[in-house]
Amino acid sequence: MTAPPAIATSGLTKDYGSGRGLFGLDLEVSGGEVFGFLGPNGAGKSTTMRLLVDLIKPTSGSARVLGLDTVTDSLEIRRRIGFLPGDLAMYAKLTGRAMLDYLGELRGGVDARTRDALVERFDADINRPIHELSTGNRQKLGLVQAFMHEPELMILDEPIAGLDPLVQQSFHALLGEVSAQGRTVFLSSHTLSEVERVTQRLAILREGRLVVVDSLENLRKVAVQRLEIEFAEPVDPGEFRALHGVTEVHADGATLTVGFEGSADAVVKAAAAHEVLAVRPREEDLEDIFLHYYRSESVA
Amino acid sequence: MSFPVTKITLRLRAAAAVSAAAGLIAVMAAVGALFPSVGHTIGTLNVPKSVSNLLGGADYGTITGWFRSEIASIYGPLVIGAIAITGAAATTAAEEEDRILGLVLAQPIRRPRLVAAKATAIAAIVLIVALGTWIGLIVGVALGGGGITLAHMTALAVQLAFFGFATGALAIALGAGTGRRSLASGGAAAVAILGWLINSFAPLVAGLDWLKYLSPFYYYAGHDPLAHGVNIAGIVVLGVLSLVLTAGGIVGIERRDLRA
């Protein structure tokens, strides 16, 4: 029998009024995937995750996690997943150790060795009161609690927030390991660069609606391309702005950087009318993919 | 019920309860020590009936009246109500507003079990304060020269504990039902103060005497436990009210979205 998707939503809606919330989300995340869930602040990422964990109820539609209904089977789902909320908060007076002990007791079945290995891996400070910890150190505790019971699915809301680059590296390595074990990670971010190294597929959400779901490879294809053209003498940027497919033109002395979608034919032909000293393709900026969908007026 | 939730709630709130209990013991010892030199001099205050009711009879000439007016009417319920209400609001609505509840409820625990466990912890905290009241009474009455039986002192502590259960349960109901700390603590405090006023003034107004039955104060002190001992009916009413309010909180939190 085929295993059910790790996450499957159907018309999932949470309407807060005034256009805020999540609207008609149809999404499927397969088992073993590291799936990125992107969008600007207020796009509905946290709302989606809170619906999946049953902290809030859908206005309409439904969601299944590990084949179970998020409303009727919530307890079993929460037993089998790890969750890191956005804006993580814990009891300020407790030490990290006491907090992890508490969450471990609530959950049951946490192997102390697994927990300790995660603490060591993230170099988490578990001996000081939580109110004395920096945002990054609190986030480490959040990650430990989300992974310490070796869940089948991890739902992580902005997991990299506040982490220094070394810990980020450690976190990315951990995601690779859990994915190799067939476990699933569903993580959100508001910047693509945070997740591009670890996600296989990603979804972009904007104003509560799903804009696109695809692999990074496919998304790169629709990215804006850029050519940096060095002329012998300054040229009129307006000449290039008027070309079909051109999205942006920046002039810096006799050098123009031209961004365009689709074929480069028109840009190259326009440049050829002048004396060209050099043509250099600019490194594709993945963030542009993201911004392209953020700004797009057409909603999928 | 969830034992870890009760344990952590007690761990976080017990210090305040123990401090309050120690404070009550110290205050009651001082109040008792003052009685021989001050109480007989004051005697029964000649004040309007309404003021007399607010002060638990204003009879400062007897040891029973002295402790009724000084402790049973205002100070005892004020302290136990404050500890119960702030504790209950802090462990439900405040944890939700502070976004801790979102992390806790992402663990495999049902909301009703969570609220029941927190209510149990608040009840234990109320008992700590009631125990402080009982010890304080024993010490204070002894320092005041005696005159109140142990059974009657125990009765006041027991009635006070049930008053604390009820006010705490009201804060839990409001906190769990709404997720708003200000509403939980403010609403419960308002009801407690209103109950005190109604219990004092309603009997003075012809036709409104029945209003006293709506006041938790009536079931706590209406039968004067220091003079007459435990009032089982009052305890039953406050106990049932506490259970009903806690159940209301459970239903409330089960049906709604977490706010943060």
Give the ipTM: 0.87
Q: Are strands A7-17 and A209-215 parallel, antiparallel or unpaired?
A: unpaired
Average the pLDDT over B210-233 and give the result: 92
Cβ neighbours of residue A59 under 8 Å, at least 6 residues apart? A13, A14, A15, A21
* Binary contact (A102, B103; C-beta < 8 A): no
pLDDT recorded at residue B41 = 72
* Binary contact (A89, B98; C-beta < 8 A): yes
Partners of residue A75 in chain B, C-beta under 8 Å:
108-110
Among B108, B31, B92, B93, CA closest to B66 = B31
A 57-86: CB under 8 A from B? 57, 75-76, 78-79, 81, 83, 85
pLDDT recorded at residue B121 = 97
CB proximity B4 to A under 8 Å: yes
* Binary contact (A78, B106; C-beta < 8 A): yes
Q: Pick the residue with more confidence: B131 or A245?
A: B131
pLDDT recorded at residue A299 = 42
Average pLDDT by consecutive 10-residue portion of chain A (300 residues)?
88 93 96 91 93 96 96 96 94 96 93 95 95 95 96 95 89 92 92 79 92 82 80 93 89 91 87 93 66 57
CB proximity B34 to A under 8 Å: no
Mutation to test the A interface, candidates B3, B107, B111, B118, most A Cβ within 10 Å: B107
Partners of residue A90 in chain B, C-beta under 8 Å:
100, 103
pLDDT recorded at residue A300 = 39
Residue of A nearest to B257 (CA): A56
Average the pLDDT over B62-88 and give the result: 92
pLDDT recorded at residue A295 = 65
Residue B226 pLDDT exceeds 80:
yes
Residue B219 pLDDT exceeds 70:
yes
Q: Where are the alpha helices (DSSP H) in chain B?
A: 3-34, 40-42, 49-54, 63-67, 76-89, 95-97, 100-104, 111-143, 150-178, 181-201, 216-221, 225-228, 232-255
* Binary contact (B102, A50; C-beta < 8 A): yes
**H or E, element range at A204:** strand A201-206
CB proximity B193 to A under 8 Å: no
Partners of residue B9 in chain A, C-beta under 8 Å:
none
CB proximity B106 to A under 8 Å: yes
CB proximity B206 to A under 8 Å: no
Tokens of B208: 């409104």
Q: Does this model's pTM top 0.90?
A: no
Residue of B nearest to A94 (CA): B12
pLDDT band, residue B55 (cuts 50/70/90): low
